[in-house]
Amino acid sequence: MSTVLDNAATGTAGRPDEPRPVASRVVLGYDTERFPFAAVLRRDVFGVRSLETLHTHVLAARVARGQRPVLKTRDNLAARELVQQLPDSAPFFRLYHEFMRLVLAPVAGRSLSYSNRPKVRVHFPGTASVSSFHADVPVTKRIDQINFWLPVTSVAGGSALHLESDYGLADYAPVPVRYGQALIFDGGYLGHGSVDNTSEVTRVSFDMRFGYRGATTREEGIDLMNRIVRRLDRFAQRTG
């Protein structure tokens, strides 16, 4: 299901001759006091003081039940399901929609259509990849959309999302993103995914795809990516 946001109120690209945006990725900063995603998840879902150490609580619970202190893929999925079970009216989802309306839509400068409920992912240290390398268009067929990825824990190395440096190169490398930043990228065509989490921290993140309201073409997706990149670049220059 998608939500239409009216801003008026507020495979890979492959060949070099194919249309592509001026940049395949950009980082958007935001105020974590105004949009405290981590605090809401700590309070309403996991009941811990730190999401980065969420795995230690899961391990302790396993030991208390007489189980081996080893985390596996099913533990990532079980933790993720705790968020997905929240009703649409939950504070986390209300905060998400507010962020889209007050932060993302003004940067895009146009009415947007985006996922009504983002995909929340939990990746415990020592567990396997939670997303194999891929581009989205072969599955979604939505050539007009781009991707939004927001970690509510700072990420680097094995806990980070990995992107290829250019379309079709498959030279995947981690993209460090701190809490208070969101990664926007051309994920319909740019390869992305995760690797085994070899870090010592839990990664909690959420992601979704979005596009102009009523868009259907690759040109519209490129225009959206270009608009966001250029607006954020101008903002960086003014505040730099």
E strand or H helix at 113: strand 112-115
pLDDT at 2 over 90: no
Distance separating alpha carbons of residues 97 and 115, to the nearest angstrom:
10
Q: How would residue 3 be classed by pLDDT, with cut points 50, 70 and 90? A: very low
pLDDT at 17: 63
pLDDT digits (tens, 9 = 90+) for 168-188: 999 999 999 999 999 999 999
Please, which residues bridge with residue 211 across strands?
A: 113
- 3-state SS assignment for residue 183: strand
E strand or H helix at 80: helix 73-84
Domains of the chain as residue ranges with CATH: 2-239 (2.60.120)
Q: Cβ-count burial of 152 within 10 angstroms (0-12 exposed, 13-18 middle, 19+ buried)?
A: buried
- 3-state SS assignment for residue 140: helix
pLDDT digits (tens, 9 = 90+) for 134-169: 999 999 999 999 999 999 999 999 999 999 999 999
pLDDT at 6: 40
Computed from CA positions of residues 4, 38, 86, 193, in that sequence, does the dihedral angle turn out positive or negative? positive
What is the share, in percent, of the chain residues with pLDDT greater than 90? 88
Farthest CA pair distance, the chain: 59
Q: Are the C-beta atoms of residues 113 and 107 closer than 8 Å to each other? A: no
The amino acid that residue 92 corresponds to is F
Q: Are the C-beta atoms of residues 3 and 114 closer than 8 Å to each other? A: yes
